[in-house]
């Protein structure tokens, strides 16, 4: 198939770690023999140099993103569009117009995937009018956060209904998209896979030595952006209530809450036991999973978190708050899922998991069927159905 992908989340030479799970999916589909072209519209950034003055240092990164590049053998184009701060619906429509124009200029694809549902779903109308079959893919906040804003939720629901085909990375998200579209049973689960060769059980001592960590003592790992939705401060508070004196907590990621994490750790008397590690390569992240005793995740909103997949594949247990599709991955791991957001309750679950963790093979068994090849096969089947449904609007 000739597949066009329109997305707001994809890696670049400027931000190579952003959306690597999306790149993994599309590179894999290309290796199955499909022709994949990615369109990744970006805002115009004429005032990028002033970004730091307005608390927007990322403007400079946006300005530096190349208009065209090849990643993993896939062509990636980044048309520019007008972005007006605070005008969410205007910006979504502007994004969609720029993406559709660039996409259609490259010829008619067999199917277009609007990957990361908002704002890409607003391209459904013009693409269907052009006779292009479309599939909308939901990943998390692109559905759940948008659903909390009535005006945006209505637009997303209309787009889904007109598309006729949508999928998501968790059952929870599939149900949310069905509700927005006003139908049931249409959405399809196309879960992200996990690299079962890279993320696998390994020697904890060797991993700790390679990372400069002490050989003894519990090590709790938090992986993800340091942003409010991931709530790393809640993870810190839970750790403070759970961990014995020799336990350590490592945050792997990046984000604006980094200084607050460090300050609160000092206030709690944990300064020497808490470490912030910048976003890691997949290979280094593999070593962090192997070095850890437990992965802790305290998000308030999730799709189906890749970090949980990776930790389990690495044979490490997880303690997580109940958010989105997280619980779907932890069925069969007693005590792993915490329903509330009380740090004492989360800390108690963490302490119990540290005292009596399940074995590595038990953890890995929970995700053994979630290979990337299984993901590609499910996605391929859905795209074939969308193509077969015809090009008529």
Residue environment code for 23-36, b if the CB has 16+ CB neighbours within 10 A, otherwise e: bbbbbbbbeeebeb
Confidence label for 52 from pLDDT (cuts 50, 70 and 90):
low
Determine the pLDDT at residue 392: 47
Percent of the chain predicted with pLDDT > 90: 85
- Whether the per-residue pLDDT at 50 is higher than 70: the answer is no
Beta strands in the chain (DSSP E): 2-7, 35-39, 42-43, 68-71, 74-77, 80-81, 111-115, 134-138, 166-168, 188-189, 219-223, 248-253, 274-278, 294-297, 318-321, 337-338
Residue 75, number of CB atoms within 10 A of its CB: 14
Residue 168 structure tokens: 């998501």
Determine the pLDDT at residue 90: 96
Q: Are 294 and 356 in contact (CB under 8 A)?
A: no
Looking at residue 219, what DSSP letter applies?
A: E
Residue 359 structure tokens: 């074995």
Tell whether omega for the bond before 119 is within 30 degrees of 0, i.e. cis: yes
- What is the mean pLDDT of the segment spanning 353-364? 96
- Whether the per-residue pLDDT at 292 is higher than 60: the answer is yes
Determine the pLDDT at residue 279: 77
Determine the pLDDT at residue 393: 47
End-to-end alpha-carbon separation of the chain, Å? 20
Q: Are 22 and 9 in contact (CB under 8 A)?
A: yes
Report pLDDT digits (tens) over 169-219: 999 999 999 999 999 999 999 998 999 999 999 999 999 999 999 999 999
CA angle 15, 82, 156 (to 5 degrees): 85
Report pLDDT digits (tens) over 15-29: 988 888 899 999 999
Strand-pair category, 111-115 with 134-138: parallel
Q: 40 — phi, psi (to 5°)?
A: -130, 75
Question: Can you list the domains of the chain with their CATH numbers?
Answer: 2-193+372-388 (3.40.50.2000), 204-365 (3.40.50.2000)
Task: State the chain's mean pLDDT as an integer.
Answer: 93
- What is the mean pLDDT of the segment spanning 275-284? 89
Report pLDDT digits (tens) over 113-127: 999 999 999 999 999
Q: Which of 154, 160, 167, 149 is nearest to 183 (CA)?
A: 160
Task: Name which residue leads in pLDDT, 260 or 47.
Answer: 260
The sign of the CA dihedral 51, 277, 322, 201 is positive
- Whether the per-residue pLDDT at 104 is higher than 60: the answer is yes
- What is the mean pLDDT of the segment spanning 240-249? 89
The sign of the CA dihedral 229, 233, 237, 238 is positive
Measured distance CA(18)–CA(374) in Å, rounded: 23
Measured distance CA(94)–CA(321) in Å, rounded: 36
Those residues whose C-beta lies under 8 Å from the C-beta of residue 98, and which sit 6 or more positions away, are 41, 79, 80, 81
- Whether the per-residue pLDDT at 324 is higher than 90: the answer is no
- Whether this prediction's pTM lies above 0.95 is answered by no
Q: How many CA atoms lie within 13 A of 256 on its CB side?
A: 7
- What is the mean pLDDT of the segment spanning 73-100? 96
Determine the pLDDT at residue 55: 54
- Whether the per-residue pLDDT at 51 is higher than 60: the answer is no
- Whether the per-residue pLDDT at 291 is higher than 60: the answer is yes
- Whether the per-residue pLDDT at 48 is higher than 80: the answer is no
- Whether the per-residue pLDDT at 332 is higher than 60: the answer is yes
């Amino acid at each position: 198939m000739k597949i066009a992908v329109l997305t707001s989340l994809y890696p670049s030479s400027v931000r190579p770690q952003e959306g690597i799970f999306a790149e993994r999916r599309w590179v894999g589909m290309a290796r199955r023999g499909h022709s994949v072209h990615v369109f990744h519209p970006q805002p115009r950034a004429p005032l990028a140099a002033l970004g730091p003055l307005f608390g927007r240092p990322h403007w400079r990164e946006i300005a530096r993103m190349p208009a065209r590049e090849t990643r993993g053998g896939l062509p990636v184009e980044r048309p520019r569009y007008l972005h007006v701060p605070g005008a969410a619906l205007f910006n979504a429509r502007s994004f969609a117009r720029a993406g559709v124009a660039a996409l259609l200029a490259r010829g008619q694809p067999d199917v277009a995937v609007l990957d990361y549902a908002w704002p890409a779903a607003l391209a459904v109308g013009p693409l269907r009018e052009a006779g292009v079959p479309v599939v909308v893919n939901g990943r998390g906040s692109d559905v759940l956060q948008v659903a909390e804003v009535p005006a945006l939720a209505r637009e997303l629901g209309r787009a889904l209904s007109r598309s006729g085909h949508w999928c998501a990375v968790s059952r929870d998200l599939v149900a949310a998209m069905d509700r927005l579209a006003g139908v049931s049973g249409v959405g399809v689960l196309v879960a992200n896979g996990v690299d079962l060769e890279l993320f696998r059980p390994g020697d904890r001592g060797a991993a700790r030595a390679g990372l400069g960590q002490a050989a003894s003592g519990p090590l709790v790992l938090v992986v993800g952006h340091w942003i409010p939705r991931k709530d790393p401060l809640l993870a810190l508070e839970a750790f403070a209530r759970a961990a014995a004196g020799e336990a350590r907590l490592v945050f792997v990621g990046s984000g604006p809450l980094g200084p607050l994490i460090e300050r609160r750790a000092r206030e709690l008397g944990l300064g020497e036991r808490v470490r912030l590690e910048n976003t890691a390569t997949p290979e280094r992240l593999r070593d962090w999973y192997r070095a850890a005793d437990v992965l802790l995740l305290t998000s308030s909103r999730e799709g189906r978190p890749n970090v949980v997949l990776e930790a389990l594949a690495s044979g490490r247990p997880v303690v997580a708050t109940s958010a989105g599709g997280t619980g779907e991955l932890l069925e069969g791991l007693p005590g792993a899922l915490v329903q509330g957001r009380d740090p004492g309750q989360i800390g108690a679950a963490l302490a119990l998991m540290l005292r009596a963790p399940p074995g590595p093979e038990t953890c890995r068994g929970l995700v053994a069927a979630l290979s990337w090849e299984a993901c590609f096969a499910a996605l391929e089947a859905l795209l074939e159905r969308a193509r077969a449904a015809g090009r008529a609007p």
